[in-house]
Structures are given as structure tokens and as C-alpha cells.
Amino acid sequence: MLIVKKFGGSSVANAERINHVAQTIVKSYKEGNQVVVVLSAQGDTTDELIEKAMEINPEASKRELDMLLSTGEQQSVALMAMAIEKLGYPVISLNAFQCKIYSTSTYGNARIKDISTERINNELERKNIVIITGFQGVNRRLDITTLGRGGSDTSAVALAAKLGADICEIYTDVDGVYTCDPRIVKNARKLDEITYDEMLELATLGAKVLHNRSVELAKKYNVNLVVRSSMTDAEGTVVKEDTKVERMLVNGVAVDKDVARIAVMGVKDEPGVAFKIFSLLSKEKISVDLIIQSIGREKIKDISFTVTKGEMKQAVKIIEDNKNSIGFDSISYNDNVAKVSAVGAGMATNPGVASMMFEALYDAGINVKMISTSEIKITVLVNDRDADRAAVAVHDKFMDAGMQIG
Amino acid sequence: MLIVKKFGGSSVANAERINHVAQTIVKSYKEGNQVVVVLSAQGDTTDELIEKAMEINPEASKRELDMLLSTGEQQSVALMAMAIEKLGYPVISLNAFQCKIYSTSTYGNARIKDISTERINNELERKNIVIITGFQGVNRRLDITTLGRGGSDTSAVALAAKLGADICEIYTDVDGVYTCDPRIVKNARKLDEITYDEMLELATLGAKVLHNRSVELAKKYNVNLVVRSSMTDAEGTVVKEDTKVERMLVNGVAVDKDVARIAVMGVKDEPGVAFKIFSLLSKEKISVDLIIQSIGREKIKDISFTVTKGEMKQAVKIIEDNKNSIGFDSISYNDNVAKVSAVGAGMATNPGVASMMFEALYDAGINVKMISTSEIKITVLVNDRDADRAAVAVHDKFMDAGMQIG
């Protein structure tokens, strides 16, 4: 089997952990597999490098930041290769330009465009374990780029897709995907399988196990993903197109507390107003999440939406600065909110799920501020102090209902 | 003018020094020059990385060590580019693979083979200040190599040669080349000019201002080298083919304390014995310096030579392990020795120099253990506790003699 294994920064934070991971890698190689490993930078390396940069120039160009940050992964792969050499197995480390991981030129948030697998395949044919820098690419000019948050997951999935790997294992500090964060909901349970779409909704909603871009990519190229623990040998959770088991009604409950709500009140009820607001925000790279538009009364309506807490003030300023061109009465905002979402592929065919969820929240006395639904997801916005209780209530409700009723 | 400037690790050790060097660079750019800058890794970065590697695998392959160490210079160039961006000038950092600095594959001690200057010239045409990683190259497979000790000097000179730079400025923590180490000889004076050959002898003899490979390369391609201070605006020392001033009798006195002496006694006085010893050592990459062979008596002779202190034990072991094939009576060794050398282009035409030097040492009551001479150099081996006194005595002798008598 050709296996791609990805380990995050905490798994390679120090010599001891590197040695531990080296053994995990070698074990798989000894079983007769071809092994490609993708690594993040060690522990806090990236943060330390950013701090160094900020000390010199808080407005450093993203091009030079990427030049700086990419050294973190290069150090990881070299150190890991040394650890595997010590165990006596053939190994080579490669960085993005050596594997020709080509990306767009959006420094700091580049997308992988293509990977030329010749070098990697050569090394695999020579029986080498191949250790590759995650999180980074090179653009057409061979300048170094980084892939943004969760980039190493994306690197691993892209490599798995391009190499035609049999499996792509994402090692994390949890042993799989849970029905909810076990720190919030004590009886949360590990899922054996989950579909790409469900994982995508969970990832987007703040379940930090996998980055959503990596899941999108896995879905697009049908990569067999497994989320498993770097500490234990537990089986993990398989993410794939269709789970063999019956479609779950709700497969997971996610909580995201990094949310702020902005309401723009008294805008004209005519086409293009929402577009104007969101294009202004998008120009400044502010991502908008839940959007709710009240039903217009007397040619006036309200538009509410959520952004991350860190971007709230900037978003409010942008809207206020453009008050004349947008046209509105007032703006309100607060960051004491959180999102609670229920995700399940079975939801699409079962209209009763939403009402079960609202019932659970009502029973727990939790006020719902906004609601948004997709085919396989229901999200509610609640006060952040209610978030954990809401997650428990929703989780329990569906657990009681068996959760697997499709 | 096209200027190549090289700054060492201590010049970029922290944000403050990086900002200081950024200003030096920008000053030169504002005067209308095209500026290419070569940097080493920050302060102790290389040592810290080696320590990390040793913790994981004391016998890590040199290939992976180079992969690890090369990140140090990449961090320096990115940080320097950020500092120059902050001053508002156009700048770009490039690493070895981006400049296509091709080297041999001798990891840890590679030699530059060629540099494709296209990218650098492009960036200069765009009016960019170009900041390049010293100390590193890529081999034919695009694997990263490092150039060994003093590698950044070599990178700078090679770039200056290949780009046809008008001048290559090596910034150090001293303000030029001195007649002797000022810490040893208080009345040592700074030279305005020195020839490549003199500099080469001084560099090889342990004057740590410039690495000998960089001087060799400068001589070969006739690169105008200047050694100057990164702290002051002082003029520095020009290293070039022929100095305009009269040839100095002695231009410098160097002390090298990293020396050990090995004597192999009672070898047969027949061809090939010396070759056998030195090829055994060379196979293990042990460099041999001064070599003296006693005059044979009764078909028996002694061979003495020097190595660095760190390699003494290994060298002795190699010779003892091969006692049968070499054929000798006994071996002795000690590392309480040091080399003191007088260097001057005028020496070649003045046979009195050697006797002046021995007179100085005799007057100071210093015993000479070995003597070696070249056209422009006389080296003596003395007890290491006598080394500084010997340097002062020799320096004073030639200073008294005017030092410029040719």
C-alpha cells in the first residue's frame, strides 16, 4: 500500500515526540508499505518566527513572511529524517520546491495547483521513506508560498490524490472524529466513519480536527482519509464518500465560539444592497458566515451576519465608513455569541430534525438568535455562555433518538 | 556600481543589528548603486540547529544536516528584507535554489560550481535590493548543500565574480586586515591594501578575517575584495592583485593555536611511506599541515606533521591501526603547540627575512620546534604558551625594520 501520513506541530514538538513518530512511520514501512510523510513545523516555531518578523516589521510583506515561515517545516522534515536514519531505515526529506508542489501566488494563503510527483516516485522506488514539508508550495517564479491555516492537512491530501495513495492518515491529538467535543459533551462518542460532506460541515463549523480545504480536496479526488491519534494505535475515523452504515440522522454537534454578530438595520429593500455590504467586506478579506435578511417591511429591511471575533471591529468600521453608499439607519454588533450546529447526512431526508433541535434548545431554556440551515446541517446562534449547554442538550436529544435513525 | 556586500552572523544576530545593517545597505542603494547582499545565519542559529540534530541523531547524515542548517540563512535573508521594506525600499530575498547557486554534492563542504545569474539580474533590473542566502547551494538533483566553514564569504565572492560586481565588501567585526591580531600585538596596525597571496597565507594560517577559499576565488576571478567593519564607516582593507605601494617585506603576523603535532618515528627511508601515511589520513578527511621529514640515517627516518587539535586523536589512531602496512617504530604527539607565521609578498626576493625572524625568536628565548617556508611565508611551530610572545617579538622585529623594506 502507498500511505500518506500527516503529523501536526505538536506531534513533532521535541526530540522525544519526533522519535515516537519516527517509530510509527517505520512500523508502517516495515509492514511493506510505501510511506510518504507530511509534517508541520515544530510546536510553536511558526509563532516564534512571526514574533521575530513583527519585531522587525509589523507590516512585513507576505512574500517575505512565507520565505521566513517555510523554514519551520524544513527543519521538521530534516529532524524527522535524522530520527528515522537512527532507526536504520532509508529516508529522505524534501521541501516544496524539491517535490515541485506548485501553488498560486497568494502568499500566506496560496492554493496548490499541481504537484509533479517524479522526484517522490523516484525516492519511493529507491525504497526511501519520503518526508515532505507541509503547509508550503512554490509559485511559477519558484518563490515560496504558504497555504494558510490547516495547510499541512491540505498538502497531505493533495499529495495522496496526486500519488494515488491508498490511504491518507491525518494524525492528531485526538483519536478520531467525535459526535461532539468531548470536553463539552462528556458522552460524546467516536465515529467509525463519516462522509466528506458531514466532515466538511463539521470542519467549517469549528471542529478543529481537519481543515475544510483538505476535506474539500479529499472529496474532489475521492481520497480515503483517516483521522487517528498520534499517541495510540486506536482505529480512528474514516472519512469517505458514502459510509457503509446507515446514514446517521445527526453525526455530530459542533460548537464555535469565535463568532461575532453584526446587524445592519434599516437598509433599503432593493436589489444590490447585500451585495454592496459583502463585497466591501470581501475586498478586505473578511469572511462572512451566517447571513440573515429580515423580511422587508415598508421597503426597509435588516441584514445580520456573523464574522470572527477578531474581524468584528474592522467589519463595523468598513460598513460605517461606507454608510452613504450603502444607505442604512444604524448598526449593532456584539461578540458574546457562539454557533452550535448539528450535522448529519441523513438530515436531508428528514424534516423532523430541525424541530427536534429547537425542542432540545427550548427545553434547556436557551434563546436562539439566528438560524441557518443547509441540506445536512442546522446552525443556531446563541449567547456564548449558553453554547456548551446547548451542545449538550442537542447532542443528548439526538443520542436519545438513537442518532442513527435515518 | 554593482556592489556585493556580505554580513556575518553576528551582524544580523538580533532585530537591532538587522536594522543597523539594513540602513548600511539602503545608504549604498541611495547612492545609486545596485546592491546584492549575502547573509549568514543569525548569531548562534547554526549551533542551535546542530544541537537539535545531535539530540536526535549524533550520526545524522550530512545531507539532512544541510537541509536543516540551510534554514538559518533563509531566516536571515527574509528578516533583512523585512527590515529594508520597513525603510521603504524595494527588496527581495532569494535562497540558493532560487538564484541557482549550483554546487558539488559534498554535503557539509560543497564547492560552488556555477551560478545562473538570470533571476538576480532580473531583480536588479526591477531596482530591487537583492538579499541572498550565503553558505548554501543546490546540487544537480536540487538537494540543498552547505559550503562549510567561511562559506558565506565564498558565496559573496562567487556572486561578485559571476555578476561582474565592481566590488565585493566583506563586513566583519574588525575594521580591516591587521599586521597581527590586535588582541595579541597591541601595536598591530591596519593595512590599507594587501595582495591576494598574502591574504591567502594569512587566512590559511588562522587569521579569521576571511576564509581562504573565498580569497582563492577572488584571486582566480580578480574580484576586488574589501574587508571592512559593519559597525563603523572606516575604509577597511582592499585585497587585490598587486598593491600600489611597495611590496612589504612582512605584511602580517598570524597566530594559530588550533594545532597538534604528530611525529612518526623510525619509518623506512624509501619512496611511498609518506604517501601511505597522508593518503590514509586524507581518506578520513583529515587535513595535514606542516610536514617535516628528517634526513634519513641508516635507511631510517622520522616524519612529523601538524593537524588540528580536534583531529589529533583520530589521526594517531589511524596511523597506529596501520602500523604494519606503514612500518614504523613509534609515534608521539602533543597538542601544546601553536603556529606563528610571518607573511609578506616582499619576502620572496629577500633571503634575510628568515634570519630576522629566527633572531627575534632567539632574542625572546623561544624554542622553535618545526619550520616551514613558502615564497611569501615563514611558519614556525612553538609551544602554545610561547605563541603570543613569539608573535609580539616577530611583529616588533619587522615593525622596527620598517616592515616596508622590500
B136: helix, coil or strand?
A: strand
> What is the pLDDT at residue B296?
59
> What is the pLDDT at residue B315?
93
> What is the pLDDT at residue A401?
61
> What is the pLDDT at residue B348?
63
> What is the pLDDT at residue B406?
32
Judging contacts by C-beta atoms under 8 Å, the chain B residues touching residue A116 are: none
Instruction: Categorize the per-residue pLDDT at B20 as very low, low, confident or very high, splitting at 50, 70 and 90.
Output: very high
Over B43-98, what HEC string results? CCHHHHHHHHHHHHCCCCCHHHHHHHHHHHHHHHHHHHHHHHHHCCCCEEEECHHH
- For chain A, say whether B295 makes contact (Cβ under 8 Å): no
Q: How far is CA B353 from CA A142, B103, B190, B194, B358, in A?
A: 56, 41, 21, 18, 9
Grid cell locating B124:
536588479
Nearest to B138 by CA among B99, B93, B101, B98: B101
Q: Which of B15, B57, B68 is facing A75, going by the closest CB pair?
A: B68
Q: Looking up cell 432540545, which residue turns up?
A: A360
Judging contacts by C-beta atoms under 8 Å, the chain B residues touching residue A68 are: 74-75, 78-79, 82
Give the best-scoring range by mean pLDDT among A184-188, B199-203, B214-218, B365-369: B214-218
> What is the pLDDT at residue B81?
98
> What is the pLDDT at residue A405?
36
> What is the pLDDT at residue A249?
65
- For chain B, say whether A68 makes contact (Cβ under 8 Å): yes
Instruction: Categorize the per-residue pLDDT at B212 as very low, low, confident or very high, splitting at 50, 70 and 90.
Output: confident
Q: How far apart are the two ends of chain A, measured CA to CA in Å?
A: 34
Least confident of A176-190, A283-297, B263-277, B388-402: A283-297
Between CA B101 and CA A4 the distance in angstroms is: 32
Between CA B132 and CA B163 the distance in angstroms is: 13
pLDDT, one tens digit per residue, over B92-151 is 999 999 999 999 999 999 999 999 999 999 999 999 999 999 999 999 999 999 998 789
> What is the pLDDT at residue B401?
61
Nearest CA in chain B to A59: B86
Burial of B56 per CB tally in 10 Å (0-12, 13-18, 19+): buried
The answer to whether the CB atoms of B142 and A19 lie below 8 A apart is no
Measured in residues, chain A has a length of 406
Between CA B225 and CA B239 the distance in angstroms is: 5
Alpha-carbon gap: A386 to the closest alpha carbon of chain B (Å): 44
- For chain A, say whether B56 makes contact (Cβ under 8 Å): yes
Residue B245, pLDDT above cutoff 60? no
Judging contacts by C-beta atoms under 8 Å, the chain A residues touching residue B87 are: none
Q: Which of B60, B85, B97 is facing A61, going by the closest CB pair?
A: B85
Least confident of A147-156, B202-211, B264-273, B318-327: B202-211
The answer to whether the CB atoms of A19 and B56 lie below 8 A apart is yes
**Contact in structure between B145 and B138 (CB atoms under 8 Å):** yes
Alpha-carbon gap: B130 to the closest alpha carbon of chain A (Å): 12
Q: Which of B63, B71, B78 is facing A64, going by the closest CB pair?
A: B78
pLDDT, one tens digit per residue, over B76-95 is 999 999 999 999 999 999 99
Alpha-carbon gap: A285 to the closest alpha carbon of chain B (Å): 23
Concatenated DSSP letters for A15-39?
HHHHHHHHHHHHHHHHTT-EEEEEE
Q: Looking up cell 438568535, which residue turns up?
A: A369
Q: Which of B60, B79, B95 is facing A82, going by the closest CB pair?
A: B60
Q: Which of A59, A60, A85 is facing B64, going by the closest CB pair?
A: A85
**Contact in structure between B89 and B129 (CB atoms under 8 Å):** yes
Residue B386, pLDDT above cutoff 70? yes
Alpha-carbon gap: B106 to the closest alpha carbon of chain A (Å): 16
Strands A330-343 vs A370-374: parallel, antiparallel or unpaired: unpaired
**Contact in structure between B390 and B364 (CB atoms under 8 Å):** yes
Q: Count CB neighbours of A10 within 10 A.
A: 15
What is the pTM assigned to this prediction?
A: 0.78
B287/B228: higher pLDDT: B228
A54/B194: higher pLDDT: A54
- Give me the mean pLDDT over the B312-341 stretch: 92
Q: Which of B53, B55, B93 is facing A64, going by the closest CB pair?
A: B93
Cross-strand bridge partners of residue B224: none
Instruction: Categorize the per-residue pLDDT at B405 as very low, low, confident or very high, splitting at 50, 70 and 90.
Output: very low
> What is the pLDDT at residue B243?
55
**Residues 109-148 in A contacting B (C-alpha not used; CB under 8 Å):** 142-143
Percent of chain B with pLDDT over 70: 92
Between CA B130 and CA B39 the distance in angstroms is: 11
ipTM: 0.77
The answer to whether the CB atoms of A77 and B67 lie below 8 A apart is yes
Q: How many CB pairs under 8 A join A and B?
A: 107
Residue B206, pLDDT above cutoff 80? no
Which regions in chain A score pLDDT beneath 70?
203-208, 243-249, 295-297, 346, 348-351, 400-406
Nearest CA in chain B to A65: B78
Burial of B316 per CB tally in 10 Å (0-12, 13-18, 19+): middle
- Give me the mean pLDDT over the B278-306 stretch: 79
Grid cell locating B278:
597522508
Least confident of A112-116, A156-160, B264-268, B374-378: B374-378
Judging contacts by C-beta atoms under 8 Å, the chain B residues touching residue A105 are: none
> What is the pLDDT at residue A87?
98
